[in-house]
Structure formats: structure tokens, C-alpha cells
Structure 1
């Protein structure tokens, strides 16, 4: 790890001013940045500690809940406004990482996680996300964990955040200092030819929180992984389902572990909406949900796994 300067900000204004310097990076819980620094994947010249900034509140605002970017994952998952009003968020957070990490990690930091692709995490390997133009070994290499939607010849990474998948199903908005709220569906950027650009956040900009609008219905977060704790999703599904007398009034479906960003399946939602939720319809929606999926050498199992997980999540929410 190279030497770096350290600064402690006490306000959003001060944090943003400091972070606009070339080579600056924010740190909150440190559960992501410090690992990247130790692995020589990221080497900031200045680390801006934002923990003193008052952004940890969880508050009710008319028809939405606002969660500060520095609220810790455990605190958010257990908060009555979230646990009772947005159980999908609680479920996703409690399925994330480990208890120790959840106690430290911030909401803003969770949304800004970098991919867990082993080629990205190994500074000795080429990686277009870390070093543009160096290549993507995952395309023809070991790609069991990698994307079946939304990838390109430049990059087939997957986004690791469970929270982001739940927030996508809830049509949440990301709050960025100095900007109007950004719908989370527009916050993340597909790799295309520029995989080094992962979000719409510009250097020096700071996430200050998220807003989650209330929506009717029951919800379910189902995460499939290689082990039961401290593991990232092979496939995950977030469902928000509103039915009346067995007929689907509204539904939202978002997937994790299968794309470079949380993946929303509007086509599957359209298949479900306005129809009676039968077992046959669940099967039909699951088939539609995987349309357009493209498997690589080692990750084709994700397509069948996603179909089964979509069906299980819908069945659990009805």
C-alpha cells in the first residue's frame, strides 16, 4: 500500500471540496476501500474520512423514507421504518456480507461497491475496468461468477450489492449533493466499451442518501450463493408483488448476480400484470425473465438457476 494523505470532513461541503482533488477518495466504513488499497487495485493520494458528516438518519418524509448515506447496514435493517415499511430492504441487507461487516459498512459505500471479479481484484491481471484497454480475461477465462445479461466484449463483471437489487425493485432514488435525485435504475452504467465508468457519479461528488417511495404489496428477497454467510450472490431476485383477489395489480422484479448492474425484468413484469397468479403463470414469467440471457463457458447454469429463483421468489411473495 502506498503512502497517502488523510483528511477528516465534518460537512458535505467540506467533504466534496476535499474530494475534488485529483486522486482523492471517500472512506466511511472502510470495508471496501481498505481492501482495494491493500490489493493495490486502488491507490488514492488523499483519503477523505466522512464519518463525522451528519448523514446517518433514517426519516419519514410524506410517502417515502429517506436513509442517510452514512447509516450502517445493520442499523438500517433493524430500523422500524425500514423493517416494517420496506421489509425487502431489511431482507437484502441481512443477506449481505457478515454481521461484523454489516455493523461497519455504510449504505452509500454499499451502493458504490466494486465488482468481485477476481481478474479485477488481482492487480497483476489485465482488466478493462481497472486498466482500460488491457483486456477482459473473464470473457474466455474462468467466468462462473460472471454476467449473463448486460455484458460486452470489454467486460462481463457483475455488480455485488444486494441492497441495490432491492432498491431497484422499489424504484428508489439516489441522492447526490448538488443534483436532483437520480433513479437507481439510471445510477449504474453498463460497461459497453467503457467499463471503467460504473456509475453516473463524477469525481468528487458524494452520495448523501437514498429515498424509497412507498408501494403496496408483499415482498421477497431470495439469494442463492455457494455458502450461507459472507458470500456474494450467484443469483438473487427481489420481488414486490401487489395482488387483489389473486390477480396481479402491480409487480416489480430485479435480479442480482447476473449483470454489471441490478437487472430489472420489465418484460416479465408485463407478463404478470393483470393476470391471475397461477403456477402456470409463474412458469411463464420465469421463462420470460431469462430472455436475452447469454451464457459463457462456465456460467450457463445461472440461466436455469435464475428461472427457478424467480419462480421461488414470486411464489414466496404471493
Structure 2
């Protein structure tokens, strides 16, 4: 095992300073992904800066009705929170569909957002992977890619992002709060937090070196809005999405006042379906109308040899979720 330093931070300033003092360090929350990658030899940090004891474990209702979720809130606690279950049910559903109960008891909100792809080529240092070793090639393109991206991929990377929670946050128009080494704080829209691969697939997110996720901000729920998360996977539990969908729907006199639709399992990041949303806004959510809108979104897909099945799978998930929310029998 490669030796590494360990620093337990008690304040954000301590954590940022420790990160800066140890080039090549990583922040450690629950460790449910990072420690696995260290065991595989994919991650070899010079130091682990433990942020699990920072005072970021609260879920707080803000004066405007929004909800602030601290970065170290455990996935199980967030899924079970009464306000989340009542006002953001798709978020609770997404969290409960991910991992196992034991992992959800350890995994954190911030760590969930920062988890890395489960692509087998990324996780195997003996295989070529531009995300793990830029310039080495993408073994999945001509190899095993049944679970890989159909939207937004590039010649350099076809990996998908594994988080269920992140898909729900994209549909909820959430924001991610970040604390930087200089002591400044900034927020990033959840829809912009993760990157498409382009020619820099090794860069998963827009997080700058040394920044720490401090919270996720959920906007106040709109009156009358309903939401749902649906996921297709190869077994009933403890499996990543082949495709998933998060939907927030507001109806007014039988027509769509507003809809937010995000796909998971199809791209390098949660895919916000803005084309479908635009086509559905103002329309009655009839099956043919919904299908045409979703097909317009998925027309941009570029499936590979073995993963074209994801397109009808995602279409059916989205159409069924919207029909359910619209009150279809």
C-alpha cells in the first residue's frame, strides 16, 4: 500500500489549509467511493483531509422556504427527513434507490456528488482510460460499453455519472455551495456542477482545486408541484442505473405550467432535458405529446454498438413518470 498522510480537520479553514499544505491530497467524507478507488490503485492521494467532522451535518429550513442540506448529512438521514419526503419526494426516492442501507448510513451529500464513474476501464489501472490517465485512450469505445453514455459523450470518454441523487437535484434546480482556499464561498447550479467529457474527461466537475462542498440548497417547493424518480437497473437493489428519470411537474387547468425533466445513466453528467421541457410547457400532457417531446430530446443521442437499448428505455421511463404525475390511470 502506498503510504499517505492523514489530517482530521475541525473547521473549513483547517481543511483548506491542510489541502494546500499537501499537494495531491483528497478530502475524505464517508469514503465509500474514494477508499475503494485507493484499494484499486486508481486513487493514490498524498494525504487524506478528513472533513467528516466539520459542522456541516444539519438540514435547515431557510426563511424563504428553501432547504439547506449540509455536505456531511448522511444519505440515509436526508432520504428520511420529513420535509424532504413531503416536499421533495423524488430526492428521497433517488437516494433510497442507490447503494445499500449500510452504504447510505455512511455516504455523505457532498461525497455523493463527487463520486466517480463505475466504468470498468476507469477502475482497472491495467486498461486504457483517458479519465484516469489522459492520453491513454478509451478502452470502452470498442470494448464493453453496454452501460455507457448515449448523450454528450466524446471520442475521449463515454463514461456515465453514477449518482441517483445528482439527477434529482438537477430536476429540482438545486445549487451546490462551495468554500474555496481563499475563504470565499460560491454557488453553482446543480445542472452545471458536473461536466461533459469533451477533451478533458479527467475533470468530472467544475470544483476548483482545494474547494470543499459545504451544502446543497433546495429551492422552496412550488405550490401544487408533484415529483417522481424512476430507475431501471439490472437487479432490484444495489445497482447503478441503466437509465433513470427525475420529473417535477406543475399543471394548470390540465396543461403543463412547468416541467423539469432530468435523465440519469445516459451521460457523463445528469442530463437536463431542456428540449423536452420546452415542448411540453403549455401543452396538455397527452401520451402522444409527451412521447414526441421526449423523442425530440433523445434525437441527440449517439448510441454505440451495444447500448442503443438505452434510448427506448429512457423514453419509456420518462413517459411513464410524466403520465403517473399527470394522473393517468
State TM-score, norm by structure 2: 0.95
**SS of residue in 1 equivalent to 2:16:** helix
Query: Do 1:26 and 1:47's aligned partners in 2 also have CA atoms closer than 8 Å?
Result: yes
Shift of 1:289: 2.7
Q: Is 1:140 paired with 2:142?
A: yes
Shift of 1:215: 3.3
CA distance in 2, matches of 1:63, 1:133: 47
Query: Do 2:243 and 2:263's aligned partners in 1 also have CA atoms closer than 8 Å?
Result: yes
CA distance in 2, matches of 1:82, 1:19: 33
Query: Do 1:41 and 1:122's aligned partners in 2 also have CA atoms closer than 8 Å?
Result: yes
2:290 counterpart residue number = 282
1:54 counterpart residue number = 55
Q: Say which is worse superposed, 247-256 or 287-296, in terms of deviation.
A: 287-296
Shift of 1:179: 3.0
Query: Do 1:289 and 1:307's aligned partners in 2 also have CA atoms closer than 8 Å?
Result: no
State TM-score, norm by structure 1: 0.98
1:160 counterpart residue number = 162
Pairs within 5 Å for 1:279-318: 279-318=287-326
1:173 counterpart residue number = 175
1:201 counterpart residue number = 207
1:30 counterpart residue number = 31
User: Given the alignment, which residue of 85, 88, 95 partners 2:87?
Assistant: 85
Q: Which runs of 5+ in 2 are unaligned?
A: none
Query: Do 1:19 and 1:203's aligned partners in 2 also have CA atoms closer than 8 Å?
Result: no
Shift of 1:310: 0.9
Q: Say which is worse superposed, 212-221 or 121-130, in terms of deviation.
A: 212-221
CA distance in 1, matches of 2:186, 2:174: 13
1:150 counterpart residue number = 152
**SS of residue in 1 equivalent to 2:130:** coil
Q: Which runs of 5+ in 1 are unaligned?
A: none
Q: Which runs of 4+ in 1 moved over 2 A?
A: none
RMSD: 0.9
CA distance in 2, matches of 1:243, 1:295: 33
Query: Do 2:66 and 2:221's aligned partners in 1 also have CA atoms closer than 8 Å?
Result: no
Query: Do 2:130 and 2:202's aligned partners in 1 also have CA atoms closer than 8 Å?
Result: yes
